[in-house]
Chain A
Amino acid sequence: MKITKVIAIIVLIVLVGIQFVPTKRNKSDVTPQTDFMLVSEVPITIQNQLKVSCYDCHSNNTSYPWYNNVQPIAWFLENHIKEGKAELNFNEWKNYSDRRKNSKLRSIIKQIENGEMPMDSYTLIHRGAKLDSLAKNEIINYMNNLKIKN
């Protein structure tokens, strides 16, 4: 047997094998009372934009693309979602202290301003998630007004 054939078979085996490794799916049917949208009065346009641009990784409910059924892509996504939620989970908004809310708002504003969020790897496929300058300004202004003054 030629060496390339052996390698090809091994790669195939691994690829097939990892398809059976389960991933934790980030899915939830209920929106908790602590959700950002329920706590703050968010204008509908901003609501929709946040849902499309942020909620896939920053809430307990991801609308998965078909390729999430393919490994190792599913792992990659799982990891991103886990990190995203640890950083900011809009579903948990009410549970953050005022101090942390302000910190989060500040980070949201900075990241959007600098175009760091939503991530390029995300907007590459989710074209609707990309924020144009109008949407950016709208969200930034809104988030700025939410800051708790002391």
Chain B
Amino acid sequence: MKTIKRSVTTVLFLTMIALTLSCKDANKKNVPVSEAKQHEKMDHTKDMDMSSNQDAISEAILKDYFNLKDALVGDDNAKAKTLGGVLAKSLGNLDKSKYSENQQKELIDIIEDATEHAEHISESDIKHQREHFKILSKDITEMVAITGTATKLYEQFCPMYDGGTAWLSTKEEVRNPYYGSQMLTCGSVQREIN
């Protein structure tokens, strides 16, 4: 009898503790993603001098993209996960303030979408990584159309993957990131950039 009484008291006591603790459950709301609105004061000249800093950031994004591509070419799921995370981070660093209003809008959309795909790549199996890499490649290609790059790039195209899929490479030689070792050389150069 005594033990029962004691355990009932303990239950009540612990319940009280649980209640007190749970009320403190903080309501951490995610920060609103109001994209760099303060950068509104840009100049409208078409060919503005892009600071070397800006170039460095978009080149870094490209470099991370190519590293990720190489991991997929090598069928390396774990490495692609890590590199997807790296790319997601570097995408966030792009300074859009140098560009015209339309370009900024476009870049915001591109970066937002690309970041989401890069994040997915950082947590998916290789099949999903490749699905996301397809759209990511489209985003990056369109980013480059705005930011430009000093590197010579090759847009390559594999007609077999998902009804035809493109990607970017720094080398002319085809190494397919969607099939890896399964069909390493499937595809062809469809466009040269620079």
Q: When the two chains form the complex, which single residue of B11, B112, B113, B117 contacts A13, counting CB atoms closer than 8 Å? A: B11
Check: A17 CB closer than 8 A to any chain B CB: yes
- Whether A13 pairs with B14 at a CB distance below 8 angstroms is yes
Residue-wise interface mask of B (160-190) relative to A, using a CB-CB cutoff of 8 A (1 in contact, 0 not): 0000000000000000000000000000000
Take A9-B7, A110-B131 as given contacts and tell me if A17 and B15 are in contact as well, using a CB distance cutoff of 8 Å. Answer: yes
In chain B, what residue has the closest Cβ to A116? B128
- In whole angstroms, how far apart are the Cα atoms of A97 and B117 in the complex? 15
Interface residues of B in 117-142 (CB under 8 A from A): 117, 131, 135, 139
Per the bound structure, the CA–CA distance linking A17 and B17 in Å amounts to 8
CB 8 Å contact bits of A55-69 with B (1 = contact, 0 = none) = 000000000000000
| Contact A21 B18, beta carbon cutoff 8 Å | yes
Chain A residues near B101 (CB, 8 Å)? none
Query: Contacts A21-B22, A103-B117, A103-B135 given: A97-B15 contact, CB under 8 Å?
Result: no
Chain B residues near A12 (CB-CB < 8 A): 11
For the complex formed, measure the closest distance between the CB of B119 and the CB atoms of chain A, giving whole angstroms: 10
Say if the beta carbon of A18 comes within 8 Å of chain B: yes
Q: Check A98/B15 contact, CB under 8 A, given A21-B22, A103-B135.
A: no
* B83 smallest CB distance to A (angstroms): 20
Instruction: Report if A100 contacts B (CB, 8 A).
Output: yes
With A9-B7, A17-B15 as given contacts, are A97 and B22 in contact (CB-CB < 8 Å)?
Answer: no
- Please report the C-alpha to C-alpha distance between residue A20 and residue B18 in the assembled complex, in whole angstroms: 7
Chain A residues within 8 Å of B15, by CB: 16-17, 20
Decide if B68 is an interface residue (CB 8 Å cutoff). no
- Min Cβ gap B161→A in Å is 13
Q: Knowing A17-B14, A110-B131 are in contact, say whether A99-B139 is a contact too (CB < 8 A).
A: yes
Say whether, besides A16-B15, A106-B135, A110-B131, A99 and B7 are in contact (CB < 8 Å).
no
